[in-house]
Amino acid sequence: MPEFVTVARVEEIPPGTGRTVEVQGIWIALFNVDGSFYAVDNTCPHAGGPLGEGHLKGHIVECPWHGWKFDVQTGARPENPNITVACCHIRIEGDHVQVALPENFK
């Protein structure tokens, strides 16, 4: 069973926004899409850009460095679904957002 870590309070991440959080020494991009939370690897596979600082439109985040886009629900790049970022487990406990890394997370 993955170990969940509290990374934020729900009200700290308004709908349509994201932020970067640390989970067990790894940087994760955390997003609120209309009240549903998603977490993916913060590092864009193109050039290492910080996805947590990217522009979120719907469930698509655009890397602030070179514009690569990823679906925060699946981690897939819409233009080429063979390119992905890892997704993390997430849950809401009371007003806390908690994230757990999947077993194969690098």
First to last CA, the chain: 17
Higher pLDDT, 59 or 103: 59
Q: What is the DSSP string of the chain?
A: -PPPEEEEEGGGS-TTEEEEEEETTEEEEEEEETTEEEEEESB-TTT--BGGGSEEETTEEE-TTT--EEETTT-EETTEEEEE--B-EEEEETTEEEEE--TT--
| Residue 50: burial class (beta carbons within 10 Å; 0-12, 13-18, 19+) | middle
* pLDDT band with cut points at 50, 70 and 90 for residue 104: confident
- The CATH code of the domain that includes 19 is 2.102.10.10
Domain of residue 26, residue span: 5-100
For the beta carbon of residue 15, count every other beta carbon within 10 angstroms.
12
Q: What domain count does the chain have?
A: 1
* Gap between the Cα atoms of 66 and 59, Å rounded: 18
105 part of a folded domain = no
46 part of a folded domain = yes
37 part of a folded domain = yes
71 part of a folded domain = yes
12 part of a folded domain = yes
20 part of a folded domain = yes
Report the candidate in 33, 68, 74 with the shortest Cα–Cα distance to residue 51: 68
* pLDDT score, position 37: 98
106 part of a folded domain = no
66 part of a folded domain = yes
Average pLDDT value for the chain: 95
